[in-house]
Amino acid sequence: MADAVTNEATDVAVPVTNWAGNVTFAARHIHRPTSVDELRRIVGAATRIRALGTGHSFNRLADTDAELVSLAGLPTEVVVDPVASTVTAGGGIRYGELAEHLHTRGYALHNLASLPHISVAGACATATHGSGQGNGNLATAVRGIELVTAAGDLVALDRSDPDFAGVVVGLGGLGVVTSVTLAIEPTFEIAQYVYQGLSRDALADNWARIAASGYSVSLFTDWTSPDIDQVWVKRRIDRDHPPVDADGWGLTAADGPRHPVPGMPVENCTSQLGVAGPWHTRLPHFRLDFTPSSGAELQSEYLVPVADAVAALDAVATIRDRIAPVLQVCEIRTVAADELWLSMNHRRDGVAIHFTWTADTAAVAPVIAAVEQALAPFAPRPHWGKLFGIGPDELAGRYERWNDFAQLLARHDPTGVFRNDFLDRYFPR
């Protein structure tokens, strides 16, 4: 995990590396405006500029060799509309802070990622997700967006706009999102249970029932064997989820709190052992005031059709002797299909196969290539914010609205103000 350091060009404290420290941003200036008007002036005057969220992505998606702008200095107002069941907040707000506001007022979001440390605009821009077969990714909650365009104008978009489903997962290429309106619901409580010891065969025989046994279910393995080490089941106490058949599936209830990454402190994790608590203190695995995950790591993740879950995991298992030496943990989750053009779940209920690697880029890169080869028959869609090698030609065929998104980029940003090497590679002009 990288520390924030001072950027001499602007005398503003911002991270000049990403959170993981594997990307050093090439930007010459890093702006931290304190008002939307100042932001508009900065963007309007820029030849090339990218928005930076909390820097939790692992690739060069946020990077640029020109200017970066962080919204961390903008005032954060949180406005709940109880009639529309929405909340509107600044794009730079972190989910953990927004969740506190909402819970205090009796509301909840439908889901959260494994960590609450990430910004709302940055997470939605990459289709960040949690788990739960009925739960769309976090961007599916977006009902409205305000963004600063390449010309420095402030533009508001909502679901009545035909381009809206393209703009929401925008990869930072359509403007700087200053405000996001999200769907909310009455607050709810979750009880989180951890089980251990799910054999590969029990998983194969019971996959659908296991995935349905909670509001959000995560499986963890280090691939030193074909079996699953931990099953995390988050059950809403206001819903009747199908039961966890621990005996039938050969599971043992954990006798104390667990961390998904072997050897990491359990204090960093949200409360387990079936003790019910507010949604935002159970849906993420990691607590806001502690280091999420392991802190020294790289990540990759691939979404494949949920119907292929067992076959895809078996394919990964065929190369587990290559994976295990550079892996900290692998997490398996489900995500519901949606209509967002660049969502990894576009029109496809998905199973997400995630890898928390060691922080050794040279050792990990060939294993990422091997995973992509093993998963190729399942047309994997890689997480936009994590490490992957699949090229634009292959990826374009996996998204029905790929060309529409390329045209959207050209229309919203004709002079390429928000372009960088990543967008030029995947969506060439």
Ligand X SMILES: Cc1cc2nc3c(=O)[nH]c(=O)nc-3n(C[C@H](O)[C@H](O)[C@H](O)COP(=O)(O)OP(=O)(O)OC[C@H]3O[C@@H](n4cnc5c(N)ncnc54)[C@H](O)[C@@H]3O)c2cc1C
- Do 340 and 168 touch, CB atoms closer than 8 A? yes
Q: Which stretch binds ligand X (CB under 6 A): 123-131, 189-197, 218-226, 316-324?
A: 123-131
Among 7, 14, 16, 19, binds ligand X (CB under 6 A): 19
Q: Is 345 in the site for ligand X (CB under 6 A)?
A: no
* Cα separation values, 88 from 31, 115, 130, 184, 187, Å: 24, 21, 21, 10, 17
| Cβ atoms of 222 and 259 closer than 8 Å | no
Kindly indicate which of the ranges 5-13, 36-44, 125-133, 208-216 contains the residues binding ligand X, using the contact rule CB under 6 A: 125-133
Strand order in the sheet with 49-52: 29-31, 67-70, 49-52
Asked if 56 touches ligand X (CB under 6 A), the answer is yes
Q: Shortest Cβ distance from residue 260 to ligand X (Å)? A: 11
Asked whether the beta carbons of 303 and 264 are under 8 A apart, the reply is no
For the CB of residue 123, give the shortest distance to ligand X in the complex, in Å.
Answer: 5
Tokens of 355: 């890898």
Stretches 126-134, 187-195, 255-263, 320-328: which one binds ligand X (CB under 6 A)?
126-134
Instruction: Give the Cα separation of 260 and 115 in Å (integer).
Output: 13
176 is a site residue for ligand X (CB under 6 A): yes
Tell the smallest beta-carbon distance from residue 381 to ligand X (Å). 12
CA 41 to chain centre: 30
Determine the Cα–Cα distance for residues 291 and 1; give it in Å rounded to an integer. 8
Strand order of the sheet with strand 154-158? Answer: 79-81, 86-90, 176-183, 142-148, 154-158
350 in contact with ligand X (CB under 6 A): no
Judged by beta carbon, residue 292 or residue 382, the one nearer ligand X is 292
Distances (CA, A) of 321 to 47, 55, 225: 48, 31, 9
DSSP 85: T
| Residue placing its CB nearer to ligand X in the complex, 69 or 202 | 69
Which residue lies nearer to ligand X by CB, 95 or 249? 95
| CB of 21 vs ligand X, minimal distance in Å | 11
Footprint of ligand X on residues 62-101 (CB under 6 A)? Answer: 62, 71, 91-92
| Residue 382 bridge partners (DSSP) | 302
Region from 159-167, 264-272, 275-283, 292-300 binding ligand X, contact rule CB under 6 A: 292-300
Please select the residue that binds ligand X; options are 30, 49, 52, 233, rule is CB under 6 A. Answer: 52
Among 14, 87, 99, 177, indicate the residue that binds ligand X (CB under 6 A).
Answer: 177
Q: What share of the chain is helix, strand, coil (3-state, %, to 5)?
A: 25, 25, 45
Residue 121's Cα: distance from chain center in Å? 11
- Whichever of 285 and 320 has its CB closer to ligand X, that residue is 285
DSSP-assigned beta bridge partners for residue 14: 5
Contacting ligand X (CB under 6 A), which of 15, 33, 55, 136? 55
Angstrom CA distances, 184 to 23, 136, 147, 338, 418, stand at 34, 14, 21, 17, 30
Among 49, 150, 169, 171, binds ligand X (CB under 6 A): 171
Q: How far is the CB of 55 from ligand X (least distance, A)?
A: 5
Nearer to ligand X, 27 or 171 (CB): 171
Based on the shown chain and the rule CB under 6 A, indicate whether residue 115 belongs to the binding site for ligand X.
yes
Specify the residue, 213 or 299, whose C-beta has the smaller distance to ligand X. 299
Residue 213 or 300 having the CB closest to ligand X: 300
> CA-CA distance, 279 to 132, in Å (whole number)?
14
Instruction: Give the tokens for residue 387.
Output: 């490490």
Contact status: 327 vs ligand X (CB under 6 A): no
346 contributes a contact to ligand X by CB under 6 A: no
Interacting positions 369-398 with ligand X (CB under 6 A): 383, 385
Q: Please pick, from the candidates 31, 50, 280, 401, the single residue that binds ligand X as defined by CB under 6 A.
A: 50
Give dist(CA 409, CA 401) in Å, integer.
Answer: 12
Q: Which residue, 296 or 376, has its beta carbon nearer to ligand X?
A: 296
Q: Specify the long-range contacts of residues 246-251, CB closer than 8 Å, at least 24 apart.
A: 246/195, 248/206, 249/198, 249/202, 249/206, 249/210, 250/197, 250/198, 250/199, 250/202, 251/195, 251/196, 251/197, 251/198
Binding ligand X (rule: CB under 6 A), the pick from 96, 122, 132, 380 is: 122
Q: Which residue has the tokens 């941003």?
A: 25
Is residue 51 within the footprint of ligand X (CB under 6 A)? yes
Given 7, 22, 126, 300, the residue binding ligand X (CB under 6 A): 126
Nearer to ligand X among residue 290 and residue 398 (C-beta) = 290
Chain residues that interact with ligand X, rule: CB under 6 A: 19, 50-57, 61-62, 71, 91-92, 113-115, 118-119, 121-123, 125-126, 128-129, 171-172, 176-177, 292-293, 299, 383, 385
